[in-house]
Amino acid sequence: MSTELKKLWWFFAPTRSKVWILIPISYSLVIQGLTGIPKPDALKDAAAHDLFIQISEGIFDYPFWFQDLSHFPLFFLFTWLWAWYIRRVHQTLPTLLYTLFITISFAVINELTQFFIPQRFPSAGDIIMNLSGVFSALLFHSICISSIHRDSN
C-alpha cells in the first residue's frame, strides 16, 4: 500500500498490527449490549438495580419507528469498522467476501438473540434495517477504495 493510502486512516487501519481488531470487536460488543437490554418492565419484574431500569427506559423511551431506523446507522458503522480492519492490507474480492460474511452473520444473529431476552422478540424489519446498513457501508467503502486506487494510479 502506498504512503498516500496509509494516510487515509478512516478507510484502512493504520498498520498491519492485529491490535486494531479491538476497535471493531469493541463496537460489536457495544451493539450487542445495547440490543440485548430487556424492556424496563422485565427488569422491574426481575428486581434489577434502578440504574439498569433507567438505562432501559432511556433506550425504549423514543418512538418505535425511530428504534427501527436506528439499526441502519448502528450497522453502517459496524460494517465500516470491520471493512476498515479486514481490508487494511488487501482490498480484494476475498477480503470483501470475508467482511460480508462476518457482518451479515452478526447482523442476523444479533437480532435472533432477542428470542432469549424477556419481553423482546426478533423483527424482520430490524433484520432488514441491519442488512441495509451492512450493504450500504460495504458498497460505500468499496466505491471509496476503488476511487482512491484509481486516483493513485
Q: Which sequence spans correspond to the domains of the chain?
A: 11-152
Q: Count other C-beta atoms under 10 Å from residue 76's C-beta.
A: 20
**Residue 114 in contact with residue 122, Cβ under 8 Å?**
yes
Contacts for 149 with CB less than 8 Å, ≥ 6 apart: 91
**How high is the pLDDT of residue 150?**
76
**How confident is the model over 126-144, as pLDDT tens digits?**
999 999 999 999 999 999 8
Read off the pTM.
0.86
Report, in angstroms and rounded to the nearest whole number, the Rg of the chain calculated over CA atoms: 18
